[in-house]
Structure 1
C-alpha cells in the first residue's frame, strides 16, 4: 500500500512538473513573462493541505478505533478519548495555516 501511495505521489509530481514547463513554453511563445514561482507556490500550498488532511484523517481513524475499543470495555473512558481526536484534527488546521502562509508570502 505504501508503495502504491509513493508511486501515485511521484506520478503527480512528474505530471505537475511537465505542466509547469508547458506553461513556461507557452508564455515564452506569446511573449509574456512566465510566473513559474507562483505556480510552485500554489502546488506547495496544495501539498501542505492535502498531506496534512490525509495524515489527520489516518490519525483520527486510528484514535477513533482505539477509543471505541476502550469504551466497549469501560464506558467511562468516552470523555478521555475526545482530546486526542481533537489533537489529531489539529494537524489539518496546521496544514491549512501553512498553506495560507505560503500563499501570502
Structure 2
C-alpha cells in the first residue's frame, strides 16, 4: 500500500509541477497542445482511480472483512455524495451569480430604480448554493 501511495504522490506532484511550468511558460495560444495536455490529465486521473481501486477489489474477497469494509465504504460514499452536492451547487450558483450579476450591473447603470428586482434575482441564484448545502447536511445526518 505504501508503494501505491508513493506512486500516486509522485504522479500528483508531477502534474502540479507540469501545470506550474506551463503557467509560467504560457501555452494559452496553442490549442493542439492544450488538448494534448487535457487528454494526458484525463488519462492520468483514470489511471489513479484504477490504481486506488484495484487493491481494494483484490482484498474484498475476504468474507470476514467484507462487512466492516462495506460499512466503511457506505460512510465514505456518504461523504463523497455530500461533497458533490455542495460542490456542484456552488459551481452552479457561481455561474448564475456571475451572469446575473453582470446583467444586473448593466441594468442598474441604465435605470437605478430596478436595483431591488436585481437583488431578488441575485438572491435566488445564491439560493442554489444554500439548497446544495442543505442536501449535503441531510445526507450526512441520515443513517
TM norm structure 2: 0.55
Q: Tell me if 1:46 matches 2:78.
A: no
Q: Distance in 1 between matches of 2:55 and 2:105?
A: 50
User: What pairs with 1:28-39 in structure 2 (closer than 5 Å)?
Assistant: 33-34=68-69, 35-39=72-76
Provide, for residues 75-103 of structure 1, a one-character-per-residue CA deviation record: whole Å limited to 9, x for no partner: 21212100111111111111001001111
1: CA distance between counterparts of 2:138 and 2:58? 29
Alignment of 1:1-105 (within 5 A): 11=45, 15=49, 19=52, 22=55, 33-34=68-69, 35-105=72-142
Between the two structures, name the one with larger relative contact order (CA 8 Å, sep ≥ 6): 1
Cα deviation, residue 19, structure 1: 4.0
Q: Which has the larger radius of gyration?
A: 2
TM-score (norm 1): 0.72
Deviations along 1:9-29, one digit per CA (max 9) or x if unpaired, are xx48x73x7646656767888
> How many pairs were matched up?
95
RMSD: 2.9
| Structure 2 spans left out of the alignment, 5+ residues | 1-37
